[in-house]
């Protein structure tokens, strides 16, 4: 793998404020690696980050696992370029360079291992460039937008930050119709929102509040309460309201499970139930999420996984 991470060009390897927070192997090498090396890179990156990703791919047909790793690796690095640099201007610069490499991928001359591997995936499943580019739009927005005026504005953000992932998954599984993409959007947006309500304090420490300003105002919640981690009655009522409309999005997306093949249906069920369990955890602690991140118990995680395993073999 040395050819993948050494001899990095100045394109994305330029050292500067914040770059030290990113792995050196994210750099674009001077020369493209072989396809075999690129595949290995994506598998290693995917499996080294989240246990949930390995669990999900276990339910997929073997011939799709590498392609899911390729897509995940793209998403992982894109997210880190936007969220782990610690310098807005540098993040924007790196995201621009990353998108240039995406464009090079579609024109057949990319050098980064992610794009070398991804080119095979894009060709095999006829994936358009737009979902990949939409994700970068969301990560750029995170550098400049820290508040959302209305719920519609927040849904607009989810359109770029979450929904493209669902579209990419559908493409990998052979689905490209509008009906399934719309159902996927409901689920992906719900998952994103559940994460926001789970991480209100974590996001605030990054300077962001995803709760719409109009909702804060309507329920009489001031930002000082969020910063001070005061779970007032008004704040808990606000969280109850957000949780309920997020549940509705999960309900609207659920019909997708019956419109895809069995392997993908198991994954959709696992992730949808997981997102709903997050909402249940928020409710269980009476919506007091400030300073106390709701989490799914190990028992519930095991139960969800066990249910998925049984579904795989029935």
Q: What is the pLDDT of residues 160-218, one digit of tens each?
A: 999 999 999 999 999 999 999 999 999 999 999 999 999 999 999 989 999 999 999 99
- State what percent of residues in the chain have pLDDT above 70: 84
If asked whether residues 213 and 302 sit together in one domain, one would say yes
| pLDDT interval class at 39 (50, 70, 90) | very high
The answer on pLDDT for 300 being more than 90 is no
Question: Residue 133: which CATH number?
Answer: 1.10.600.10
Whether residues 11 and 30 share a domain: the answer is yes
Q: Which of 195, 213, 187 is nearest to 289 (CA)?
A: 195
Task: Give the chain's mean pLDDT.
Answer: 87
Same domain, 182 and 310: yes
* Structural domain boundaries enclosing 23: 1-144
243, 114: one domain: no
Give me the pLDDT at residue 202, please: 94
Select from 114, 144, 174 the last residue of a domain.
Answer: 144
- The widest CA-to-CA distance across the chain, in whole angstroms, is 58
Same domain, 254 and 136: no
| 286 and 161 part of one domain | yes
Asked if the model's pLDDT at residue 139 lies above 50, the reply is yes
Same domain, 149 and 95: no
Distances (CA, A) of 165 to 19, 65, 131, 159, 307: 26, 16, 7, 10, 24
Domain-ending residue, one of 109, 124, 144: 144
Do 13 and 128 fall within a single domain?
yes
When mean pLDDT is compared across 31-45, 153-167, 258-272, 277-291, the lowest value belongs to 258-272
End-to-end CA distance of the chain: 41
Number of neighbours of residue 13 by Cβ within 10 angstroms: 18
pTM (2 d.p.):
0.88
135 lies in the same domain as 227:
no
Residues 127, 45 share a domain: yes
Among candidate residues 116, 136, 143, 133, the one with its CA nearest the CA of residue 34 = 116
189, 41: one domain: no
Tens digits of per-residue pLDDT, 42-83?
Answer: 999 988 865 444 445 556 788 899 999 999 999 999 999 988
pLDDT tops 70 at residue 87: yes
pLDDT digits (tens, 9 = 90+) for 126-137: 999 999 999 999
The one-character DSSP state at 199 is T
Single out the residue in 127, 144, 161 at which a domain terminates.
Answer: 144
Q: How far apart are CA 161 and CA 176, in angstroms?
A: 19
Domain total of the chain: 2
61 lies in the same domain as 170: no
Measured between alpha carbons, how far is 263 from 269 in angstroms, rounded to an integer? 10
Of the listed ranges 195-199, 243-247, 278-282, 294-298, the one predicted with least confidence: 294-298
């Amino acid at each position: 793998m040395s050819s993948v991470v050494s001899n990095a060009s100045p394109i994305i390897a330029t050292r500067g404020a914040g770059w030290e927070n990113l792995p050196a192997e994210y750099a674009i090498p001077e020369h493209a690696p072989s396809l075999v090396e690129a595949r290995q890179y994506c598998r290693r990156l995917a499996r080294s980050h989240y246990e949930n990703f390995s669990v999900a791919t276990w339910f997929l047909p073997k011939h799709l696992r590498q392609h899911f790793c390729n897509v995940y690796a793209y998403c992982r690095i894109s997210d880190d370029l936007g969220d782990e640099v610690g310098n807005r201007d540098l993040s924007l610069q790196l995201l621009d360079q990353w998108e240039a490499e995406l464009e090079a991928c579609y024109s057949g001359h990319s050098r980064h291992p992610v794009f070398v591997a991804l080119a095979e995936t894009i060709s095999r499943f006829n994936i358009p460039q737009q979902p990949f580019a939409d994700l970068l739009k969301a990560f750029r927005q995170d550098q400049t937008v820290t508040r959302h005026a209305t719920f519609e504005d927040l849904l607009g953000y989810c359109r770029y930050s979450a929904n493209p992932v669902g579209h990419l998954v559908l493409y990998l599984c052979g689905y490209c119709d509008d009906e399934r993409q719309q159902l996927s959007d409901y689920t992906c947006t719900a998952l994103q929102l559940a994460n926001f309500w789970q991480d209100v304090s974590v996001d605030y420490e990054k300077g962001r509040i995803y709760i719409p300003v109009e909702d804060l105002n309507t329920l009489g919640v001031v930002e000082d309460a969020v910063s001070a981690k005061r779970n007032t009655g008004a704040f808990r009522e606000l969280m109850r309201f957000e949780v309920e409309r997020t549940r509705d999005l999960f309900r609207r997306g659920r019909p997708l499970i019956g419109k895809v093949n069995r392997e993908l249906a198991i994954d959709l069920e696992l992730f949808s139930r997981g997102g709903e369990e997050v909402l249940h955890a928020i409710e269980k602690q009476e919506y007091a999420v400030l300073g106390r991140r709701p989490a799914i118990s190990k028992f519930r995680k095991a139960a969800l996984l066990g249910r998925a395993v049984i579904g795989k073999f029935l």
